[in-house]
Each structure stands twice: as structure tokens, then as C-alpha cells.
Amino acid sequence: MRQFRGRIGEDQVVELAETFRLMSDPTRLRIILSCLDSAVAVGDIADRLGISGSLVSHHLRLLRAARLLQAERRGRQVFYAVGDEHVRSMLTDMTDHVSEEVETEVEGEPAAPDLPGWRRRTLSLPLARDLPMVQGPGTGPETKARHRPPWRQRREGPERRPA
């Protein structure tokens, strides 16, 4: 097992957070996973995922800028693939992690994996959309109003233009 090398710079933390933010979108993640084994053309990605070619191109532009995918032109088509072995191994490991089974003890029976009292079950994690929304500091509507540009500020009182 590899050891964490220690502290990383603030700019690297920001870049890492941005990389994970890009991969947090399910469509982008499916695009990356479809390019994991071999180079795939934009049209083929769109067909596999059932989305428009322009939407795929938009996501590919962002993923390529973040160095998650590499592009290669072959004639009139551009093929995309995961070119970095670090990205490939991380996604493969995380896919294995999500799909692995967890051993659990059946209540009232022996606690050893090789005995009949043990069974395997799939670990089920809650999805983020199923969790309650938590309002932390700086996430409420008052913060959003404070950070609006001047032309987007809501006007109060008689100087407000009618709709």
C-alpha cells in the first residue's frame, strides 16, 4: 500500500478539489468511464450514453482541460481516452470499492467468515439526493444576495422598476 507523501500546497488542494468536482457530475463520470478501456469517438460516446453530441462535446472540453481525458485526431474524428494511469487506477479502484460486498455477521451465530453463520451482502449507501439538505453558514439566501453583482441586486422600496 502506498503512503501519503505529506502536505501538498494550497494550489494543489484547489486543483484536486476542482478535479473531484468535475468528476462528481454523473454524466461526466459516465463519459470518463466509457473512455477508460479504449479511445472512443464523440458520436460513439453520445450513442452509448443516450445524450446529444453537443452536450458530450461540452463535457469533453472541461474534462480535457482538467487533464482527465486526452484527445487524438484520426482523420475527421476526435477520439478521447483516459491517458493518465493515475486516473485510470483511481477510477478502477473506486469502481471496485463501490461494487464490493461486505461481510456481515448473522445475529446469534458464530463470528468467523469460514463458518456457516456468515453471509455476504451488498453494501447499500444512501445517495446524496436522498439525504436532507443541510444549511451551513454562508449557504443561505442572505449570503447569495450579499454576493450578487450590483446589477443583480434586488431593489427595495419605491425605486424598484415594475415587472
pLDDT of residue 8: 85
pLDDT digits (tens, 9 = 90+) for 105-161: 455 554 545 545 545 554 555 665 666 655 555 555 555 555 555 555 565 555 555
CA dist 119 and 114 (Å) reads: 10
Q: What is the pTM of this model?
A: 0.60
Secondary structure element (H or E) that encloses residue 71, with its range: strand 70-74
Could you tell me what percentage of the chain is helix, strand and coil, using 3-state DSSP and rounding each to the nearest 5? Answer: 45, 15, 45
* Amino acid letter, residue 162: P
pLDDT of residue 105: 47
Nearest to 31 by CA among 21, 41, 18: 41
**Could you tell me if 102 and 113 are in contact, meaning their C-beta atoms sit under 8 angstroms apart?**
no
* Confidence class for position 7, pLDDT limits 50, 70, 90: confident
**Residues linked to residue 70 through DSSP beta bridges, in sequence order:** 81
